[in-house]
Amino acid sequence: MNSSCFSVLCQKNRQDDGFTSEDWYQNYLRFVQLAGLELKTIEAYSRWVRQLGEHYPELKVPHLTPGQVQDFLIHRQDIRKLAGSTINQAKQALKGLFRDHLGYQWDIWGKIKPKRDKPLPYIVSPKDIRILLDSFDDGRYRALFTLIYHCGLRLFEARAIHPKDIDGDRLILRIRKGKGGKSREVPISSEVHQRLRAFWSWHRNPKWLFPAAGRGWKRATLRQHLRQNNNAMSSSTARTGFKVALASSGLLKRHQRIIIHTLRHSYATHMLDEGVSLAQISEYLGHASLRPTLVYLHLTERSETKARDALATLPLPTPR
């Protein structure tokens, strides 16, 4: 996040000078900025820190005790009836402040285990994925979302790719600072590599594979704007391009829940259908453990077929 984004964040967070001008709060914002988190994540984390301060208006946040922080989370969970996923986000935000930034060695974080009722990921068939990808008229978006699907990337990971991150000899894509700041390598097909190379050869931006177009460009000068821009394509620009293509694809008549992350979910499920091991897919997705990857076992056509075949072998009582 550059300095202008940091200034915007400070302004959006501003409620009163007594809170936002505190040195500890400004230092915290810089800390999460350097952690490489997306702007929306930083905004969410800073909101939780402010809400904690509002919960204890007479106290300074850095001076709170572990019990007070735990009581705040319990209040949000039991009184406000917030969802488990929301409480977990609050927990991660406050853990980042007190443990990672301020260095407080508290033992409360393992005790806070909000129940998370997560629905199964939504996926679409390979046929519908092709329909969607064919609906992108702009080559920038077609290249971006093709890569997201073929490598199972998160949007922020794809936007941050540099041309040097693609190893054409090994057909490997390097993801630097994925979720949690972890890096990984993901295989790409020869055809996808060739298409990405052709796309980059068209704009030749020295820093970004998917550069921003900037303001004031016209179709005739798009290539020049992409070549000279020092910023990557923004999340909002990517989402707008996705929504336009989705609307024109006709898929919304059958699928009401398609979002960009559906491409990542579909990648994982389709790879399982093709016989790729769960451990390998977990590594490609950048999961910290197998647990979040296991959910895709419930979504594959192959596993459902195997389950039906297995059911047919189970003994039944003799008909009477």
* Active site amino acids: 154, 179, 261, 264, 287, 296
Residue 272 has a CB neighbour count (10 Å cut-off) of 21
The number of residues making up the chain comes to 320
Give the tokens for residue 288. 């910290």
CB atoms within 10 A of CB 315: 5
**Strands, E, within 148-306: which ranges?**
166-167, 172-175, 184-187
Beta bridge partners of 232: 211
97 touches 28 (CB < 8 A): yes
Extended strands (E) in 116-234: 166-167, 172-175, 184-187
CA-CA distance, 282 to 290, in Å (whole number)? 6
How far CA 19 is from CA of 53, 63, 71, 94, in Å, comes to 8, 14, 21, 16
Report the alpha-carbon distance of residue 264 to residue 121 in Å, rounded: 10
User: CB of 140 within 8 A of CB of 241?
Assistant: yes
Where are any strands of DSSP class E within 152-236? 166-167, 172-175, 184-187
